Amino acid sequence: MYGVSEDPSEDCLHRIVLILRDKMKINVERPAIECCFRIGQYERDKKRPIVLKFSSMYYKQLAYDNKKLLKSSGMVIREDLTQYKLKLLKDAITKMGRNARVWTTNGTIFCKYDGEGRTVKIEKPSDIAKL
Q: What is the mean pLDDT of residues 88-112?
A: 86
Does the CA dihedral 105-52-31-23 come out positive or negative? Answer: negative
- Give the confidence band of 112 by pLDDT, cuts at 50, 70, 90: confident
- Assess whether pLDDT exceeds 80 at residue 131: no
Distance set, CA 13 to CA 19, 35, 38, 62 (Å): 10, 8, 10, 17
Amino acid present at 105: T
Q: Give me the chain's average pLDDT, please.
A: 89
Its pTM stands at 0.75
- Assess whether pLDDT exceeds 80 at residue 79: yes
- More confident position, 22 or 118: 22
Tell me how far apart the alpha carbons of residues 14 and 19 are, in angstroms, rounded to a whole number.
9
Task: Mark residue 89 as left, alpha or beta (left: phi above 0; alpha: psi -120 to 50; beta: remaining).
Answer: alpha
Three-state secondary structure call for residue 112: strand
pLDDT tens profile 3-51: 999 988 889 999 999 999 999 999 998 889 999 999 999 888 889 999 9
Strand partners, 119: 112
Tell me how far apart the alpha carbons of residues 71 and 65 are, in angstroms, rounded to a whole number.
13
pLDDT (0 to 100) of residue 103 = 87
Q: CB of 80 within 8 A of CB of 1?
A: no
pLDDT (0 to 100) of residue 99 = 65
pLDDT (0 to 100) of residue 86 = 93
pLDDT (0 to 100) of residue 63 = 92
pLDDT (0 to 100) of residue 102 = 87
